Chains A and B, each alone.
Chain A
Amino acid sequence: MIIRKRLAAGVCGLLATLAVGLLPTPAAAGEPDTKPAPKVELVLDVSGSMRARDLDGQSRMAAAKTAFNEVLDAVPGEVQLGIRTLGANYPGQDRKVGCKDTKLLYPVGPLDRTEAKTAVATLTSTGWTPIGPSLLAAADDLKGGEATRRIVLITDGEDTCQPLDPCEVARDIAAKGIHLTVDTLGLLPDDKTRKQLSCIAEATGGTYTSVQHTGQLRDRVHQLVDRAADPVVTPVATQGAQECSTAPELKPGLYNDREKFAEHRWYRVGVRPGQELRASVSIGADRAVDNDYGVLLRAVSAHGREIVRGSEAGDGRTDAVSTGLRYPMPDADTPDGGGEPPAETVCLQVSNSFSAPASVKRDPGLPVELAIDLVDAPHDAADPASFGLGRGWWLLITLALAGLVGGLVWGWISRWRISVWRTN
């Protein structure tokens, strides 16, 4: 926020961002105003089923309340926390009304612990389980700012408001590029709930936990809220093109994009002679994909010559498949008239060989994370051995024998010279 104000005040944006980037380590703790505050929203299911008394002898609702109280006490200072409920108000049978029943219990912002706790204490388990609409509303609560966002969804049952599939809702939210992660916790979940919750987590790069005990619920929520406070570099959204000539020009940094199944995208990077390009790419598997998959990253010159490639393939359950490449551009002579030699355009092609069963939705594409670095080119090797130096007993014996032979020859020559001098 503050950065924005500074920008508005006319401070050079580049300098400001640079300054933020170069700030020393404990910036998050010591100077909270330099970093946007991470936002977390706890989304709690308050549907009728939460009345069941089967979580260590307590009702699920009571267990959730206890856990919330303890978590609220320990929320890190810089985290902005909000609480949203689903199914808290409408006890009736009308599906249409019940599926709109989601309410922001405590708005996202600096936390007032007493107020938040009072709000939590008033909850009684009541109505339906509209997970999809709640996720949409929660994403809306968290909007604004550049910080990382996290939704912690706690529920004991699957969504009762079909046909809106909460898993697709989650994927659509994630595809908006707002750095939003949904972590899900299922209270004694059945098979359908587990499937739905793990799908939501997978779609946003979050985690899924099946809660069997009250202590586990508290520890996990606490851990997730803490995790939100961890400083992390947020990627910048970009959109790769179908061919290199129209591709976006990228500066060093972290980028995200979306790429459909078996699609490839192009990006461009300007590399000056004497610089090394380092590129890494991860393509996330945020939905059910076929068992075998791969990714290919190619660096191609502007004329279409492949310079170097990185590729990776794998099988089995995965969150992402990634690869990288480096391309040191050789030094060039400074052009006549001085000045920097011009940067050469290197095209980066990112392609994937993911596939999926026909039932899986193709849109939006798979999340792509692209990291670009430019550093000085390395000192190339003149000799495979370190500095061309030798090592080992054979070296010592050879050198010693050479020395001995040299000494013998030198000695004989000098003896011969002395005897010649004597005879004359």
Chain B
Amino acid sequence: MRTLRTVTAALLAAGGLLATAGPALADDPPPASGSATPSPGSDPDSPPAPTEAGTSFRTATLVAAGQRATADGSTGDYLYWAVPLDQGQNATVRAKVKLPETARHGAATWQLDVYDGLRRRQSCRYGMQARKVAADAGSVELSCTLRTVRSWAEPWANDPLPGRYYLRLTATDLSPQDLGQPVHAEVEAAVSDAGGGHAVDGALAAPLVPGAVPADAADDDSSPSATASASPGPQAAAGEPDGGWSSGRWSDRWIWTAAGGVLAALGGIAGYRLTQGRGRPSRVPPGA
């Protein structure tokens, strides 16, 4: 009877452990969970979506992920926005351009380019990044799905890393007579969580945000170099993802590994229990 009790107790304890891990496990495939896709656009407390675009990397307008930014410009303008993307995120950038209503002279090619915080061009996994539009088309839609943002990559790799991503929208090929016509552009970066399957070890000390000098480095006497020109732009604080940059230490691999440990313990107990049979045979006298 005693062994039975200990085994039951052990099973209960293990079950309790598993139960605590349970809800976390249930969360485990999170790509569509609400918290993973910040949608500040719908949140009344969040700042309003920008209605202007920058004209260069330096003047790019900051847009939060999920926000729909709009801008009025002229055909031929180079419109820049910047979106903060954090590790473990899959981002799809969509742009829509309302083309001028006046008669145009020829077809044009519109293109949406994505650059990372180091101004390196980022490839799209899929999505029409450039589209040729006929002279009578009313609008054009472009999209680009980036690779999953990793928390660490080798310096020789071009992998997407946490930081600011620049979007550049422009007409790369058009009839010169069509320059300067009014257009209306909308861009939006939809973000979803890629899950722990893409988690890698290592982390950057600071996200790839231009002019970002971590606080401790700024205090450090050895970097007097944080001059006015290098100081973070006034919008720097706004250019963070919802809830700030993640440390890169959390992934659902912790849950899977812990759950594996619990299962192993249970398996161990079960195996041990199998070898013990059904307790002491009844015909053996208690004193033997």
Contact A209 B272 (CB under 8 A): no
Contact B200 A385 (CB under 8 A): yes
Contact B199 A251 (CB under 8 A): no
Interface flags, A377-405, vs B, CB<8A=1, else 0: 11111111111111110011011111111
166-184 of chain B: CB within 8 A of chain A = 170-174, 176-177, 179-182
A162 neighbours in B (Cβ, 8 Å)? none
- Is A232 interfacial (CB-CB < 8 Å)? yes
> When chains A and B are docked, how far (Å) is the Cα of A372 from the Cα of B260?
46
Tally of chain B residues near chain A (CB < 8 A): 97
A22 with B180, Cβ < 8 A, contacts A233-B231, A252-B223 known: no
B230 neighbours in A (Cβ, 8 Å)? 21, 251-254, 372-373
B37 neighbours in A (Cβ, 8 Å)? none
A233 neighbours in B (Cβ, 8 Å)? 58, 211, 229, 231, 233
Contact A308 B156 (CB under 8 A): yes
Stretch among A78-86, A117-125, A190-198 lining the B interface: A190-198
Of B77, B196, B206, B276, the residue contacting A386 (CB under 8 A) is B196
Contact B264 A205 (CB under 8 A): no
Write the nearest CB–CB distance from B278 to chain A, whole angstroms.
Answer: 13
> When chains A and B are docked, how far (Å) is the Cα of A395 from the Cα of B261?
10
Q: Tell which of A205, A252, A253, A325 has the most Cβ of chain B within 10 Å.
A: A252
> When chains A and B are docked, how far (Å) is the Cα of A406 from the Cα of B212?
52
Contact B253 A186 (CB under 8 A): no
Write the nearest CB–CB distance from B253 to chain A, whole angstroms.
Answer: 4
Stretch among B139-147, B186-194, B214-222 lining the A interface: B214-222
B8 neighbours in A (Cβ, 8 Å)? none
Contact A312 B120 (CB under 8 A): yes
Write the nearest CB–CB distance from B208 to chain A, whole angstroms.
Answer: 7
A388 with B228, Cβ < 8 A, contacts A325-B155, A404-B268 known: no
> When chains A and B are docked, how far (Å) is the Cα of A318 from the Cα of B274?
73
Contact B170 A317 (CB under 8 A): yes
Write the nearest CB–CB distance from A226 to chain B, whole angstroms.
Answer: 7
- Is A8 interfacial (CB-CB < 8 Å)? no
> When chains A and B are docked, how far (Å) is the Cα of A26 from the Cα of B111?
34
Of B57, B72, B229, the residue contacting A282 (CB under 8 A) is B57
- Is A365 interfacial (CB-CB < 8 Å)? no
Contact A389 B251 (CB under 8 A): yes
Tally of chain A residues near chain B (CB < 8 A): 107
Contact A411 B233 (CB under 8 A): no
- Is B59 interfacial (CB-CB < 8 Å)? yes
> When chains A and B are docked, how far (Å) is the Cα of A61 from the Cα of B76?
26
- Is A219 interfacial (CB-CB < 8 Å)? yes
- Is B257 interfacial (CB-CB < 8 Å)? yes
Contact B171 A231 (CB under 8 A): no
Contact A407 B268 (CB under 8 A): yes
> When chains A and B are docked, how far (Å) is the Cα of A316 from the Cα of B226?
37
- Is A236 interfacial (CB-CB < 8 Å)? yes
B254 neighbours in A (Cβ, 8 Å)? 387, 389
> When chains A and B are docked, how far (Å) is the Cα of A401 from the Cα of B197?
23
> When chains A and B are docked, how far (Å) is the Cα of A226 from the Cα of B257?
54
Contact A412 B55 (CB under 8 A): no
Listed by A's residue number, 12 A-B pairs whose Cβ atoms lie within 8 Å are A22-B218, A280-B119, A308-B155, A375-B213, A379-B205, A381-B202, A387-B253, A389-B256, A391-B257, A403-B264, A406-B264, A408-B275
B→A interface (CB under 8 Å): 52, 54-59, 72-74, 76-78, 102, 109, 111, 115-121, 151-152, 155-156, 170-174, 176-177, 179-182, 196-197, 199-206, 208, 210-214, 216-218, 222-235, 237-238, 249, 251-254, 256-257, 259-261, 263-276
A→B interface (CB under 8 Å): 14, 17-18, 20-22, 24-28, 186, 189, 191, 194-195, 197-198, 205-210, 212, 216, 219-220, 223, 226-227, 230-236, 251-254, 272, 276, 278-282, 308, 310, 312, 316-320, 322-328, 340, 369, 371-392, 395-396, 398-412, 414-415
